[in-house]
Chains A and B, each alone.
Chain A
Amino acid sequence: MEKMVNVFLYGKKYEVPAGLTIMEAMEYAGYKLVRGVGCRNGFCGACATVYRIKGDRELKACLACSTTVEDNMYVATLPFFPLIKEGYDIEKVRPDEQIMMQLYPEIYACVGCNACTKSCSQGLSVMQYIAHAQRGEYEKCAELSFDCVMCGICSSRCPAGISHPQVAMLARRLNGKYLSPESLHLTERCKEIEDGLCTEAIEALMQKPIAELKELYNNRDIEK
């Protein structure tokens, strides 16, 4: 006999097999999911969920697709949270402190409660990356926030109304575009292709009969 546990989906009790994820438990209970489901494997952030275990004071947060159900788990999904996303022109912004001040001034209202970090479904140091954003340290902000799936749980817990995932998104784009060093080999190759230096070799290959192509493939040298 399969071991069963009781879960309370939006307060209603269902008996489901132990070992299912919260998402699978919802489907087992009969929910045909449209919202609150995306990649089903921890990358898209669509299935932000909060829960409490009966008798436990702590409110926990997770992704429903990658968290196993527990007995007496009270579950509510958070399929949408109104984050602030400011528009900007990536070609015109610069990686200085001004830009955060201008687009996301609420980050300076952080009260240091650390609720964001405690609730992060990825276990990131959210409050710390916001501190870096405040100081215009975008490289550090980008590094600490890199694994963010933008589920928005942090923002739902923030008394200052900060949209942490969007702040981090801006920092990462600034870092990727302006702060990380240029890849010269990439620039050069793009120019070679543009100047037509790679065309002849490709066109020669396209003309080759398959037997010749096979020969080339089977005997190509493979970089160690």
Chain B
Amino acid sequence: MIFTEEMLQSMKKVEAAREANITYEPARMTAEEKEALLAEYHPDYKDAGFATIKTGPNKGEKAPVELVEVLEGHSRVLDLCVDLNKIDYDVDVLVIGGGGAGSSAAIEAHEAGANVMIATKLRIGDANTMMAEGGIQAADKPNDSPAQHYIDVMGGGHYVNRPELVRKLVMDGPSAIKWLNELGVEFDKDENGTMITTHGGGTSRKRMHAAADYSGAEIMRTLRDEVLNRKIPVLDFTAAIELILDDEGKAAGAVLQNMETGEVLVARAKCVVLATGGAGRMHYQGFPTSNHHGATADGLVLGYRAGAKLLYQDTLQYHPTGVAFPQQIFGALVTEKVRSMGAKLVNSEGEVYVHPLETRDVNAAAVIRECSTRGKGVSTPTGGKAVWLDTPMIDMIHGKGTLEKRLPAMLRMYLKFGIDMRETPILIYPTLHYQNGGLEIGANGMTCVENLYVAGEAVGGIHGRNRLMGNSLLDIIVFGRHAGQQAGAKCKETTVGKLSLDHVTKYDNELKKANAESNVPSPKLFPDYTRKL
């Protein structure tokens, strides 16, 4: 048996209370209770995790220590001889990033008639999109509306979301689902074609569309297939290490580097779409992450050096239910859909201590509270604490076989390590999941740098200070498509001037003036998990 004695003892209490816990409906917290909980327990409120940005458009604002380190790091092009007269790729639209946002942007730019190319650090599809499990929101049911969705998004984001971006998100939601469905994405439907939808944390309507718990994978592999069908060139294992501007300050391409051979390449483009995704592999505040191997905030660094502004760079999402045990999958995501389907969060004493569908920031803070001051966490072999997610409830509520049918990926993930989540509850703890903030864009998808578009997790402002489940898959499609359409049109009226990397030297000089010089190579590109002797 892989469980420790302490786990088994606590598990008995969870089992004993299960039947009563299923019917027990915990009260939702008031706005004041939530605020107090967040202030005391959420990692975003821990001053030690943040530093002040010393230079650039957001000078004086705070950001995670690890992000500041790369924002003020040493540009990789400074040590290279980059010949901007030798153009390796000359395109209308350069998309940086091969996840859901980048692929959507590329498809739409291609549809608009642009000559488009994708450059990506890993392969197309090795992205957080692929790992999104639970679903995608859109207000398309009769009892729902974009306005209702708008209220949920704003409330969940603590009312600081950019209204024009939220409007786009919710108004274009249904057409995004339709677009995906018409590309062949297999959404869960009943025999009449009605989408099977559930709640997510903080939603007021059941508007979570899913494809079992492979929702993101199903979307991503379909988008990838479409990119390949359209013969859009994809440069894989090729990172963008700096943006190129032209002599008028417009975005005009990027310096690329082959991740395997080190070869440096120059891509000239009339418009650039940054779709570089998130930052989980920065391991802010030492948290494990649910993110893919390349989630290192590269786009934020590149955009910032080129003059784009950051927005809400100081707010991260810690998904309340990351795997706490077994250690092999420590930090991996346990989809919120598990809670959407009725599994409750239970502490070491077998008590339901929170409503399972509070927003993610609230639920993450509540897990941390159980495991710290309240002392009701279960010890894990790696020295941490955890609470239970009582998964056997799902089949008890919906009938035997439901968990296997609706959550096959979760079941498989645990079975590989000898845990059958249909029979035993699982141990969870918050994991670094999402970058709420990012680069600021206007309603046209462009940053303040002309012809530099951003889409996906690299954008800040759509979700305010906390994103709801299912709004990220939605945003990568809505804003990915939008950026592609906009760039696809804008490139037709754009002439690229003389290419330049002067902004990089200028930024480096500012760092020197601010005594913020560092030797840390930046962007980070990949984490280094090799053993340090």
Residue numbers of A with Cβ under 8 A of B are 19-21, 24, 27-35, 37-44, 46, 66-68, 85, 87-90, 122-123, 142, 146-147, 149-150, 169, 172-177, 180-187, 189-190, 193-194, 198-199, 201-202, 204-206, 210, 213-214, 216-218, 220-223
Contacts and interface: CB of A to CB of B under 8 A. Distances in A.
30 contacts: A27-B530, A32-B528, A32-B530, A33-B529, A38-B292, A40-B332, A41-B413, A43-B409, A44-B131, A146-B211, A146-B212, A169-B221, A169-B225, A173-B183, A176-B185, A181-B191, A185-B141, A185-B194, A186-B174, A193-B146, A198-B171, A206-B167, A217-B154, A217-B155, A220-B152, A220-B204, A222-B203, A223-B204, A223-B205, A223-B206
Contacts of A182: 193
B292 A213 contact: no
B184 A189 contact: no
B186 A87 contact: no
Interface string B406-435: 001100110011000000000000000000
Interface string B180-195: 0111111101011111
Nearest to A222: B204
A187 B195 CA distance: 12
B182 A217 contact: no
Interface of B: 30-31, 122-123, 125-128, 130-131, 139-143, 145-148, 150-152, 154-155, 159, 163-164, 167, 170-171, 174-175, 177-178, 181-187, 189, 191-195, 199, 203-206, 211-212, 214, 216-218, 221-222, 225-226, 228-229, 231, 237, 259-260, 290, 292-293, 327-329, 332-333, 408-409, 412-413, 416-417, 526, 528-531
A193 B150 CA distance: 14
B120 to A, nearest CB: 11
Given A44-B130, A122-B412, A193 B531 contact: no
B186 A214 contact: no
A42, A123, A184 — most chain B CB neighbours (10 Å): A42
Nearest to B212: A146
Given A40-B332, A85-B228, 14 more contacts: A19-B327, A32-B526, A34-B259, A44-B131, A46-B122, A66-B329, A146-B408, A182-B193, A186-B174, A202-B146, A205-B147, A214-B31, A220-B152, A222-B204
A146 B195 contact: no
A179 to B, nearest CB: 9
A202 B178 contact: no
